[in-house]
Amino acid sequence: MPISALADRPVLLLGGGREGRATLEWLQQHRHRAPLHLLGDQPPDPPLAGAPWVSAADLGPLLTPATVVIRSPGFAPAHPLRRLLDASPVEQTTATRLALAELRAAGLPLIGVTASKGKSTISSLTDLLLQAAGHASELAGNIGVPLLARVEAMIAAAAPVVIELSSYQCDDLMPGEGPQQVVFGTLFPEHLDWHGSLSAYYAAKARLLAAAPAGAHLHVDWRARTVLEQHGLAAVLARHDVSLEWVNRPAGLHVAGHGFADGSRCLLEHADCRMPGLHNRENACLAFAAARRHGALPAHLAQVLRDFGGLPFRLQDEGRHGGIRWINDSISTAPEAACAGLEALQGSVSVLIAGGQDRGYDYAPLAAAMVRWQVRHLVALPESGPAIAAALKASSAVHAAGAPPLVSVAANLAEAVARARQLAPPGSTCLFSPAAPSYHAWPGFEARGRDFRTLVLSLA
């Protein structure tokens, strides 16, 4: 839907957060002439000038076929306001879909990136590789800058745009309205409370592939293939009107024992990569697959990987404090992410601090990883810490090892850091990789990571 189609139609913004405010500013810049209202669970603070808040009880006069709802991604399908709107005659869209329509109409090269974990790293690396290859590329979307807020600047720059997309943002995409290039990383269970089921979550991710227009180029992590097929989504990979490149398998771009390779051809050595962990190198392969369609060369990949040490709160080394090395991996919101962190640190972790919002994850793989990488202590945080401890107790790998990690329970993060300092031998490493979201105690992983850093820096 182009902006011209909205000019004279009443608009109801669902959500007044960062994306809702960017949408309102965009509409006002384009001289939207019809009434604008804001719908949410409560009035925003501060209010949105030009979009008076309306309660669900007062919605009646606005629920007409002429009204367009522009929905923020935080409202799950089961949310009462979503269900109310879904049962009404209003047309619904999202800021992501509006922005994509404007950018496609301008003819810009668009690269959409998604994954269960690693999408911010892949997006950032893709953008850096494009810049190294001489493009004045733009990076926006789920990574922090609302896409709609940058549309005018992007059109003026006439350069490739890298768009990070969450499962929430992918969920509404329709066939043909997505980016011409898609980078699709690994999949594992996430956001099940929002989507309602594992199949619904994977289907939402796969909509980015299904939304690619004819002639698009899809760069898909080989390991996502099994998950997609197991959940009945193989059809999106069998499209005959797109080009499909499998990444991270030996026949194509992948991480080999000596470094990065394309088939049997070595591109560069591991020594050129500052980011720790196999998962980060595999993310780099996905980014390079997309960027080399725009002229990026192995030399550019080497340059970027030498300079880029990773994004904040992703295996971030906070230094030595109290005689212990502290690693801040607050981005870890699922067991698979914590497993990747342990692999990246290659057996150097003495104490793991883990736990957060309980989404009912299977922590058996994390229990096995703790044994494999010889973690000596688990400091378990609420709410999911007991579930991680129970997985350790039940793990066959733990029983086979004979010396399972010892478990300590902490009431909060401050107590966990203090406990870890007591347990970790001098010179060892403590990894904070929660393997769970943070929303019950913090607004997001960034706030959680900042609090962890403050606690660590206060140690003598």
Is the CB of residue 302 less than 8 Å from the CB of residue 268? yes
Largest CA distance in the chain: 71
CA 316 to chain centre: 17
The predicted-structure confidence for 205-222, as pLDDT tens digits, reads as follows 999 999 999 999 999 999
| Three-point CA angle 249, 195, 312, nearest 5° | 60
Do 187 and 221 reside in the same domain of the chain? yes
Query: What percent helix, strand, coil does the chain show, rounded to 5?
Result: 40, 20, 40
Is the CB of residue 459 less than 8 Å from the CB of residue 321? yes
The pLDDT of residue 459 is above 70: yes
27, HSE (Cβ side, Cα atoms, 13 Å): 31
For residue 286, give the CATH number of its domain.
3.40.1190.10
Do 76 and 127 reside in the same domain of the chain? no
Q: Phi and psi for 28 in degrees, rounded to 5?
A: -65, -40
Taking the C-alpha atoms of residue 8 and residue 19, their distance in angstroms, rounded to an integer, is: 22
Measured in residues, the chain has a length of: 460
What confidence score (pLDDT) does residue 423 get? 97
What confidence score (pLDDT) does residue 230 get? 93
Do 77 and 144 reside in the same domain of the chain? no
What confidence score (pLDDT) does residue 399 get? 65
Domain end: 273, 307, 341, which one?
307
For 129, 240, 248, 337, the CA distances from 434, given in Å and listed in that order, are: 31, 41, 27, 9
Of 204, 268, 194, the closest CA to residue 236 belongs to 204
Taking the C-alpha atoms of residue 215 and residue 413, their distance in angstroms, rounded to an integer, is: 50
What confidence score (pLDDT) does residue 222 get? 97
184, HSE (Cβ side, Cα atoms, 13 Å): 34
Q: Where are the alpha helices (DSSP H) in 55-118?
A: 80-86, 95-105
The pLDDT of residue 402 is above 80: no
Do 242 and 101 reside in the same domain of the chain? yes
The predicted-structure confidence for 303-339, as pLDDT tens digits, reads as follows 999 999 999 999 999 999 999 999 999 999 999 999 9
Is the CB of residue 279 less than 8 Å from the CB of residue 291? no
Where in the sequence is the domain holding 163, given as residue range(s)?
A: 97-307
Of 321, 276, 330, the closest CA to residue 439 belongs to 330
Q: How confident is the model at residue 47 (pLDDT cuts 50, 70, 90)?
A: confident
Burial class of residue 91, CB neighbours in 10 A (0-12, 13-18, 19+)? middle
The predicted-structure confidence for 93-113, as pLDDT tens digits, reads as follows 999 999 999 999 999 999 999
The pLDDT of residue 33 is above 90: no
Of 119, 135, 117, the closest CA to residue 127 belongs to 135
What confidence score (pLDDT) does residue 258 get? 86
Kind plus residue range of the DSSP H or E element containing 399: helix 396-401
Handedness of CA 290, 296, 297, 300 (dihedral sign): negative
Phi-psi group of 380: left, alpha or beta (phi > 0 → left; psi -120 to 50 → alpha; rest → beta): beta
pTM of the complete model: 0.93
Do 440 and 350 reside in the same domain of the chain? yes
For residue 384, give the CATH number of its domain.
3.90.190.20
Is the CB of residue 183 less than 8 Å from the CB of residue 126? yes
What confidence score (pLDDT) does residue 214 get? 97
The predicted-structure confidence for 255-278, as pLDDT tens digits, reads as follows 998 899 999 999 998 877 999 999
Percent of residues, the chain, with pLDDT higher than 90: 83
Do 107 and 181 reside in the same domain of the chain? yes
Percent of residues, the chain, with pLDDT higher than 70: 99
Is the CB of residue 378 less than 8 Å from the CB of residue 408? yes
Q: How confident is the model at residue 91 (pLDDT cuts 50, 70, 90)?
A: very high
Domain count, the chain: 3
Domain end: 266, 288, 307, which one?
307
Phi-psi group of 397: left, alpha or beta (phi > 0 → left; psi -120 to 50 → alpha; rest → beta): alpha
- More confident: 431 or 402: 431
The residue-averaged pLDDT of 354-375 equals 94
For residue 66, give the CATH number of its domain.
3.40.50.720
Domain end: 260, 289, 307, which one?
307
Do 413 and 394 reside in the same domain of the chain? yes
The pLDDT of residue 39 is above 70: yes
Judged by DSSP in three states, 401 sits in helix
The predicted-structure confidence for 146-183, as pLDDT tens digits, reads as follows 899 999 999 999 999 999 999 999 999 999 999 999 99
Rg of the chain in Å (alpha carbons) = 23
The pLDDT of residue 440 is above 90: no
The pLDDT of residue 204 is above 90: yes
Do 143 and 288 reside in the same domain of the chain? yes
Is the CB of residue 322 less than 8 Å from the CB of residue 458? no
Do 60 and 118 reside in the same domain of the chain? no
Do 263 and 374 reside in the same domain of the chain? no
Residue 213 has what DSSP assignment? Answer: P
Q: Which of 17-26, 329-338, 342-351 has the lowest mean pLDDT?
A: 17-26
Do 29 and 74 reside in the same domain of the chain? yes
The pLDDT of residue 340 is above 80: yes
The pLDDT of residue 403 is above 80: no
The pLDDT of residue 424 is above 90: yes
Taking the C-alpha atoms of residue 377 and residue 354, their distance in angstroms, rounded to an integer, is: 11
The pLDDT of residue 395 is above 90: no
Do 33 and 133 reside in the same domain of the chain? no
